[in-house]
Amino acid sequence: MNELVRQHTALDDSDLEWLHLLVSEWQLLSDLSFADLVLWVPTRDGTRYVSVAQMRPNTGPTSYQDDMVGHLVPRGRRPMLDAALDEGRIVREGDPEWREEVPVRVESIPVRREGRVLGVIARNTNLLTVRTPSRLELTYLQSASDLAQMIAAGSFPFPGQQVDMDASPRVGDGLIRLDADGVVQYASPNALSAYHRLGLAADLVGHHLGQTTAELAPTRGPVDEALAKVASGWAPREFEIEAHDGVIQFRAIPLKPKGTRIGSLVLCRDVTELRRRERELITKDATIREIHHRVKNNLQTVAALLRLQARRIDSERGREALEEAVRRVGSIAIVHETLSQNLDERVEFDDIADRVLAMVAEISPGKVTGRRSGRFGILDAEVATPLSMVLTEVLQNALEHGFREGDTGTVEVSAVRGGTSKEARLLVTVQDDGVGLPEGFDPHRSGNLGLQIVRTLVEGELGGSFDMVPAPGRGTRVILDIPVQTQK
């Protein structure tokens, strides 16, 4: 819609914002009217109309099989559009149109903002299935007429009240029509079922909705008075009530077709199961985070015990082996600590890589600087945990075997994500400028425990490839190629 309005019309950004607000609300008008809506805006030169938005009803058959957005129509071809735009009134005159052997009633509703008519809504009703209307349908149509008059007067939609139609109650979920005093004139079967869920045993018609709702809600005191007023539809509001193990979501819409409030529409939806599932997910997420937190604490305890044991061993090789184990456990603990702070089983791995780099750099025999370039991005937990161990082993190997006591140098970790959406890959390179590889060294046959761990994790658990080659000029380069899921 933005592109069409800016390309073809003279409307400014504030006018466009009003149209967006209207389009966010007009599913309500479409469902109440049992009709398709098409928003036509006059072009910059005033010779044509361009259709910038379209809505089909959930309550009846469509009048348009094709998408009308983007169509251009010259002035004069549709006189009802011209009359609504020029005279600023709702136009209903005219015989039904026939489209593919289907009779369609066409009406035009001017869209007014601050005294100016920005465009026209063409309301198209498929008359093929017309029958004697029920009380529900008559209430729908009367409410649609009131809303149409409010749009033509510029009092609907309500400024600052943009609604998420996916989250708000819809017409079919449950509808209650109130008079100016807040007394129920009509309640649809679904609306009545929602109130029965809250504990109401009687009918709603003839009762004051605000007072009835306040009596059902498990609140007392000043809150009751506020709830009674909101439920009476005095102002556009959304709210929820939980009572008798039921949760009902409400939306109140004041009706002021001629500037004076004549009543209200209250839409309601039973969201009991939805809220129950949300609570279960919240509880599950909290439990998972707590598990990760406890695993991290246990791993830190294990690391502390290994560190204590290392201090009591006289053998230098035994002490070094335990210290390596401490770092391996520590790298896993970092991942679980990060997971304990997230709502899902995915982590931002760049922070983990930086912490692993800092942890391993503590063992540097000389003045070696570590740095990272590129981004690992977000990774699933099943990738992050083994990758953190692989990174720990590769960095530890580089610092221990690439540099001697007193050496200075650099170890750089770089990460690049690429590939297609189905076969995304992460390329990780760890390069140092140390002494390099011994002559005839084969990383795929080495008996070094650290490299055995790397090979097992990369090729077996991560399904990737691992290689270690001389770096250009000086030092060693380790290359990890790992398949990953694309970031959502």
pLDDT per residue over 163-218, tens digit each? 676 778 999 999 999 999 999 999 999 999 999 998 898 899 999 999 899 888 87
| CA proximity to 170, closest of 150, 139, 186, 191 | 191
In whole angstroms, what is the distance from residue 109 CA to residue 284 CA? 49
In whole angstroms, what is the distance from residue 117 CA to residue 84 CA? 9
Model confidence band, residue 488 (pLDDT cutoffs 50, 70, 90) = very low
Mean per-residue pLDDT, 292-307 = 82
Overall pTM surpassing 0.75 (yes/no): no
Higher pLDDT, 265 or 410: 265
The amino acid sitting at 488 is K
pLDDT higher than threshold 70 for residue 363: no
Tokens of 113: 């903002």
Q: Helix axis angle, 381-402 relative to 316-339, nearest 10°?
A: 150
Residue that is written with structure tokens 């995304």 in the block: 424
Neighbours of 387 (CB within 10 A): 28
In whole angstroms, what is the distance from residue 270 CA to residue 286 CA? 26
Q: Is the Cβ–Cβ distance between 237 and 223 less than 8 Å?
A: no
Give the per-residue pLDDT at 222: 52
In whole angstroms, what is the distance from residue 72 CA to residue 69 CA? 9
| CA proximity to 252, closest of 210, 220, 219, 216 | 210
Tokens of 1: 């819609």
Q: What is the DSSP letter of 70?
A: T
Give the per-residue pLDDT at 422: 64
Report CA Rg, the chain.
34
In whole angstroms, what is the distance from residue 10 CA to residue 369 CA? 60
pLDDT higher than threshold 80 for residue 117: yes
Mean per-residue pLDDT, 149-165 = 85
Mean per-residue pLDDT, 86-115 = 90
Q: What is the DSSP letter of 183?
A: B
Lateral strand order in the sheet of 367-374:
367-374, 408-419, 424-432, 476-483, 465-470
In this structure, of 102-116, 198-212, 282-296, 445-459, the range with the lowest mean pLDDT score is 282-296
Neighbours of 418 (CB within 10 A): 9
In whole angstroms, what is the distance from residue 460 CA to residue 273 CA? 42
Tokens of 340: 């304990």
Mean per-residue pLDDT, 384-403 = 84
Model confidence band, residue 102 (pLDDT cutoffs 50, 70, 90) = confident
Give the per-residue pLDDT at 323: 80
Give the per-residue pLDDT at 353: 87
Q: Which residues pair with 266 in a beta bridge?
A: 176, 252
Q: Give the mean pLDDT of the chain.
A: 86
Model confidence band, residue 279 (pLDDT cutoffs 50, 70, 90) = confident
Burial (CB < 10 A; 0-12, 13-18, 19+), residue 480, is buried
Q: What is the DSSP letter of 473?
A: S
Mean per-residue pLDDT, 377-406 = 83
In whole angstroms, what is the distance from residue 1 CA to residue 20 CA? 8
pLDDT higher than threshold 60 for residue 487: no
Give the per-residue pLDDT at 230: 85
| Phi, psi (deg, nearest 5) at residue 49 | -120, 145
